[in-house]
Amino acid sequence: MELAREAAPEIDRLVLSVNGIASTRLDEQILGPARELGLESLVMLPHYADFLLAGALTRQVAKLRLRYQPPERIDARLDELVRLGLVDWDGQRLAAAEPLRPVLEGLLSNRATAAAELWSGHPDEVAAGTEHARRVSQAASPDHEVAAAHREVPEPDDPYLALYTVLTNLRYVRQHDHAAAWSARGLTARAMVPMTALWHGNPVDADADGVYELVEAGYATLHPVALTEAGRQVRDAIEEETNRRAQASFDALDEAEGRDFLDALRALPGGGS
């Protein structure tokens, strides 16, 4: 069974469903205290919330977590949080200072509520999905830096948030393997954004970041902006290699366990299911 390949869209569906619901419910219990702390927006904080609460974030992990964002933008945001006294920085790790913790805890509570709304009628599938996902996560090698840092985040007591958290970790595992696959072909994060959009059939503007890099490499045309046959073959190969690399972690499950994991994921509502 190609478990990594089959599980990836289900993991994305479930995690993104929770994120989608949670993002529409950033009420005054979260936004009000954030404004009082001098924050004009929550930019990047949802991505780092559990890392910061656990004191597990480094600048390197922060940049790898959002590897498609310009690194200088991430540094600027982290510097702002430190300057405002909301994040403590000891030269190695970043951790939420006491004033910021209620905001970050509110973000996690928001996710827990969304996950419970989706999955509360499926306790057996939640339990099975969490157990299997945890084993895959623990099998990922330490060079998966974001996933390894995220494993330092305590598993929540809430069963629905626990499943969301460990599935998110598996997305970090795949993110690392995907980056390894495209980096091996000389591509950059900047170029991968439009390449993947075009590969999925989405429109991309001619002046979008990374397009000219693809054109120079012979992987895209400019008028219209589209992947060439060579570009499509390379993007297909990147996906295949990502699956092969990710499978090393999913091999922690045997055939029967892998099937049980997939069945559990597929039974859980989300993404319009």
Domain-embedded: residue 83: yes
Say which CATH number the domain at 138 has. Answer: 1.10.10
Whether 117 is covered by a domain: the verdict is yes
Residues 38-55 have pLDDT tens digits of: 998 999 999 999 999 999
Q: 10 Å Cβ neighbour count for 1? A: 15
The answer as to whether 190 is a domain residue is no
Q: How far apart are CA 148 and CA 82, in angstroms?
A: 24
Q: What is the mean pLDDT of residues 91-105?
A: 97
CB 181 within 8 A of CB 245: yes
User: Can you read off the two tokens belonging to residue 124?
Assistant: 């057996």
Query: What DSSP letter does each residue of 208-258 carry, written as one string?
Result: STTHHHHHHTTSEEETTEEE-HHHHHHHHHHHHHHHHHHHHHHTTS-HHHH
Q: Does residue 79 lie within any of the structural domains?
A: yes
pLDDT of residue 27: 81
pLDDT at 222: 96
Q: Is residue 51 part of a domain?
A: yes
Task: Give the whole-number percent of the chain exceeding pLDDT 70.
Answer: 99
**In the chain, % of residues over pLDDT 90:** 96
The number of helices, as runs of H, and strands, as runs of E, in the chain is 13, 4
> What are 206-258's pLDDT values in tens digits?
999 999 999 999 999 999 999 999 999 999 999 999 999 999 999 999 999 99
Q: How much is the pTM?
A: 0.96
Residue 87 lies in a domain: yes
Determine, yes or no, domain membership for 39.
yes
What gap in Å lies between CA 189 and CA 141, rounded to an integer?
22
Residue 113's pLDDT band (boundaries 50, 70, 90)? very high
Q: Does the structure show a pLDDT above 80 at 270? A: yes
Structural domain including 160 reads 25-173
Question: In this structure, what are the phi and psi dihedrals at residue 95, rounded to the nearest 5 degrees?
Answer: -140, 145
In a domain, 181, yes or no: no
Distance CA 250, CA 95 (A): 31
pLDDT tens, position by position, 175-211: 999 999 999 999 999 999 999 999 999 999 999 999 9
The burial of 110, by beta-carbon neighbours within 10 Å (0-12 exposed, 13-18 middle, 19 or more buried), is given as buried
Supply the pLDDT for residue 273.
54
What is the pLDDT, as a whole number, of residue 272? 66
User: Based on the structure, what is the number of domains in the chain?
Assistant: 1
Contacts of 226 (CB under 8 A, 6+ apart): 198, 220
